[in-house]
Structure 1
Amino acid sequence: MNLHQFRYVREAVRRGLNLTEAAKALHTSQPGVSKAILELEEELGVRIFQRHGKRLRRVTEPGSQVLASIERILQELENLRRIGEEYSRQESGTLSIATTHTQARYMLPAPIAALRQRYPAVRVALHQGNPEQVAQMLLDGAADIGLATESLEEHADLITLPCYDWQHVAVLPTGHPLADGPPLTLEQLAAQPLVSYHPSFTGRRRIDQAFAQRRLAPDFVLEAIDADVIKTYVRLGLGVGLVAEMAMRADDAAADAGLVARPVGHLFGRNVSRVAFRRGAYLRHYVYTLAELLSDRLNRALIERAVAGGGDDYTL
């Protein structure tokens, strides 16, 4: 058996058992992939895949165990490669970060700037997507570290640690009837046209759940993934905005001129943004540094303990 066979089996599974697509991804021929998989099955004495003619139909029960071993072997090979790179280039390399727009726009700039001051030869590749895409980039090895509020803790192959907690705020134009006064209520918000995040982003599920529990039917007239877009439409009078509190920064008053932010954590609860790593991955020293810059609750010893199997949660 050889590493090419292992990679062919893994890619076949990743491509939905489509050998043609697997061959394209591996820059080889479909017959070559099929032959390599058959040879591995013959050497192991088990069928990894159940077939219908020449097509792969599903992964067999012993095949699932083989796949788990293959993933561990290929992960360790990747770790070896990274160890070699780390010690041959102590202060350089590429740090790949997968995250959502909100984190990229409001939370990451200062930590990344501080990281670059410490490691000026380290290049940063920032990959933005929805929370599920962030998780998948980590699982595929396309990112070293991920940061998001949703989805990350739902994947067993990811180590996730709480980074910081936050609440939503209601954003209103100056002079709006709800711009001041007693704390806002769900009934008051449900009576207004609302502008907020797409349901898969930035704690939107908590908002929907809170209204549903009170049997209220809010009118979301516009949904977006970008808090700056939401604020633009609030200024135009489209409705009341519901955004993450970090999108209304005290140090950027000019950008939020004409708007008022009111906390609504008492209505929708607090959200936890989490930092994530692929389970078993080798992390370069500047990955640990970025995590420590993101939150004073994170440190290298804690992350190493989690990656080694010592738990992936703690109290904020």
Structure 2
Amino acid sequence: MNLHQFRFVQEAVRQKLNLTETAKVLFTSQPGISKAILELEGELGVDIFARHGKRLRRVTEPGQQVLRSIELIMREVNNLKRIGDEFSKQDAGTLSIATTHTQARYFLPVPVAQLRKRFPKVNISLHQGAPAQVAQMVIDEVADIGLATEALTQFDELVTLPCYEWQHSVVMPAGHRLAQLERISLEDLALEPLVSYHPSFSGRSRVDQAFATRRLKPNIVLEAIDADVIKTYVRLGLGVGILAEIAVRDDPPGGDLVSRPAGHLFGQNVTRIAFKRGAYLRNFVYAFAEMMSDRLSRALITRAMGSDPQEYQL
């Protein structure tokens, strides 16, 4: 048995047992993959996959155990590569970060600049997506670090730690009636067309829950995943915006938009950082985490990687 066989099995499962797609991803031939998997099954003496003709239909019960072992083996192989990279390149390489638009646009620029200053040989690769996609990119080792508010704690393969707290803000044109109020209520917002995040982004679930608790039905006229898009449509008069406070924090006073804090309406949100459980973290990964939040330290991350991450609170 060999690593190629393990990689073929692992990728076949990721591609939902479609060997044509598996071959495309791995830049090889479908017959070659089929042969390698059959040879591995012959060596092990068990069927990893149940078949209908030549098509894979499902992972068998022994196949599930084989797959878990393959995941461990491939994870340790990747760890060996990282260890070699760290000690041979001396803090050089690429830091891959998976995150949402709001974090990439408003939160990460400062720590990324700090990292580049401290580690000039380290390049940054940003991958943006929905929170669930962020989690999957870390699990698939496309990214070293994931950063998002939603979804990350739902995956057992990840170790997550709280990074920082934030609240929502309400944004409206400077001449809007709500701009005259210092403290806006849910009842005030229920009378307005609203522009906010898609339900899977940036604490939108807290917004919906707050209205539901008061038995109010918000009139969401537009949903977006991008805070800048929300502000654009607010400027066009489409409605009142509800977005992350970080997206308006640096807006100049006296501009065309006015914002009001909304923590008293929707509570506090927690953005979390995620690592793949069992992964080897290079020196600059620890350093970058410490740059993102004074709540994070190498010692804390190391402890969390070896225990229950839910023990760690803000």
Please confirm whether the aligned pair reaches a TM-score higher than 0.5, indicating the same fold: yes
C-alpha distance in 2 between matches for 1:158 and 1:307:
9
1:170 to 1:252, Cα distance in 2 relative to 1, 3 A:
closer
SS state of the match for residue 199, structure 2?
Answer: coil
C-alpha distance in 1 between matches for 2:209 and 2:308:
33
CA-based RMSD of the aligned residues comes to 1.4
Offset from partner CA, 1:1-56 (integer Å, 9 cap, x none) = 11111111101101101112112222222122111111111211211111111111
Alignment match, 1:233:
233
Shift of 1:312: 4.3
SS state of the match for residue 64, structure 2?
Answer: helix
SS state of the match for residue 159, structure 1?
Answer: strand
Pairs within 5 Å for 1:168-247: 168-181=168-181, 183-247=183-247
Shift of 1:232: 2.1
Shift of 1:175: 3.2
Q: Structure 1 stretches of 5 or more lacking a match?
A: none
Alignment match, 1:258:
256
Pairs within 5 Å for 1:71-150: 71-150=71-150
Q: TM-score, normalised by structure 2?
A: 0.96
C-alpha distance in 1 between matches for 2:267 and 2:299:
30
Is the deviation greater in 19-28 or in 236-245? 19-28
Contact 2:182 2:260 in 1 (8 A): no
C-alpha distance in 2 between matches for 1:242 and 1:202:
10
Amino acid in structure 1 at the alignment position of 2:279: A
Offset from partner CA, 1:250-289 (integer Å, 9 cap, x none) = x4416x7122211111221111100001111111111111
Amino acid in structure 2 at the alignment position of 1:253: P
Which of 267, 286, 306 is matched with 1:269 structurally? 267
Contact 1:207 1:268 in 2 (8 A): yes
C-alpha distance in 2 between matches for 1:100 and 1:314:
23
SS state of the match for residue 93, structure 2?
Answer: strand
Contact 1:162 1:313 in 2 (8 A): no
C-alpha distance in 1 between matches for 2:292 and 2:13:
35
C-alpha distance in 2 between matches for 1:27 and 1:186:
54
Which of 292, 305, 308 is matched with 1:307 structurally? 305
C-alpha distance in 1 between matches for 2:234 and 2:51:
56
SS state of the match for residue 273, structure 1?
Answer: strand
SS state of the match for residue 36, structure 1?
Answer: helix
Is the deviation greater in 264-273 or in 302-311? 302-311
1:68 to 1:119, Cα distance in 2 relative to 1, 3 A:
same
Number of aligned residue pairs? 314
Amino acid in structure 2 at the alignment position of 1:203: G
Alignment match, 2:281:
283
Q: Structure 2 stretches of 5 or more lacking a match?
A: none
C-alpha distance in 2 between matches for 1:200 and 1:284:
31
Shift of 1:182: 5.7
Amino acid in structure 1 at the alignment position of 2:252: A
SS state of the match for residue 196, structure 2?
Answer: strand
C-alpha distance in 2 between matches for 1:314 and 1:2:
39
Contact 2:161 2:309 in 1 (8 A): no
Contact 2:41 2:47 in 1 (8 A): yes
Contact 1:100 1:128 in 2 (8 A): yes
SS state of the match for residue 282, structure 1?
Answer: coil
C-alpha distance in 2 between matches for 1:13 and 1:240:
44
Is the deviation greater in 214-223 or in 14-23? 214-223
C-alpha distance in 2 between matches for 1:29 and 1:71:
23
Amino acid in structure 2 at the alignment position of 1:54: K
Offset from partner CA, 1:189-248 (integer Å, 9 cap, x none) = 011011111111111111112222323221112222221221222222221110101111
C-alpha distance in 2 between matches for 1:192 and 1:104:
30
SS state of the match for residue 253, structure 1?
Answer: coil
SS state of the match for residue 57, structure 1?
Answer: strand
Q: TM-score, normalised by structure 1?
A: 0.95
Alignment match, 1:41:
41
Shift of 1:176: 2.0
Offset from partner CA, 1:29-86 (integer Å, 9 cap, x none) = 2122111111111211211111111111111111111100000000000000110011
Alignment match, 1:15:
15
SS state of the match for residue 175, structure 2?
Answer: coil
Is the deviation greater in 301-310 or in 110-119? 301-310
